[in-house]
Copies of this chain bind each other. A is one copy, B any other.
Amino acid sequence: MTLQIYGDHVSGNCLKVKWTATRLGIPFRWIETDVMKAETRTPEFLALNPAGQVPTVVLPDGRPLAQSNAIILHLAEGSDLIPSDPYARARMREWMFWEQYSHEPYIAVARFQRHLAGKAASEIEPRLMERGNGALARLEQQLAATPFLVGEALSLADVALVAYTRVAHEGGFDLDRYPAVKAWVARVEADLAITD
């Protein structure tokens, strides 16, 4: 059976999985799953993932897996997207947990409210913008020093962090303030052949 990716095409978390599978040459079938239409709340979907979240994949052996970063860590095991050096691998995972805790909840949420739910800039909680800019400043500090988040080569840390950073402007963030981040987004998009 082919890998099945249940995903919403507007979700950076879902696109991470698509990009990783594409980069690694893993064939997959994309099953568009609209969060706004509650397609993640059907009995069929909840049987796959009781958390009712996309992305969720069904592996070729029929077993389900959820959480974007857990999925890409599994798909990429043994590939060049995961550093072989244990410390570099640990730093990669540090960035991936940081992404879900200190980046996505601000940047993806502000982007959702502005771009997808149609709120005005004045309606966005100032804390979201403040924390989001804090996250971008932290990326800038790292990317002014190294071309990728974990040194010289692309890793899953870049895949995870580029997902919502590349669309941060849709949440009202000004990437011109973060030139190293902006250059890195272009580098990662080129490497992953992201066009959408």
Contact = CB atoms under 8 A, between A and B. Distances in A.
Interface in A63-114: 63, 65-71, 73-74, 77, 86-87, 89-91, 93-94, 96-98, 100-102, 104-105
Contacts of A74: 86-87, 89-90, 93
Contact of A73 (B50, B61, B90, B138): B90
A contacts with B: majority SS: helix
A141 interface: yes
Contacts of A53: 102
A24 interface: no
A73 B142 CA distance: 22
Given A100-B101, A105-B105, A70 B51 contact: no
Contact of A70 (B61, B67, B97, B102): B97
Interface in A137-189: 138, 141-142
A63 B87 contact: yes
A12 to B, nearest CB: 14
Contacts of A59: 87
Interface of A: 50-51, 53, 59, 61, 63, 65-71, 73-74, 77, 86-87, 89-91, 93-94, 96-98, 100-102, 104-105, 138, 141-142
14 contacts: A51-B138, A65-B91, A65-B94, A66-B94, A68-B97, A73-B90, A74-B86, A74-B89, A96-B97, A97-B97, A100-B101, A101-B101, A101-B105, A105-B105
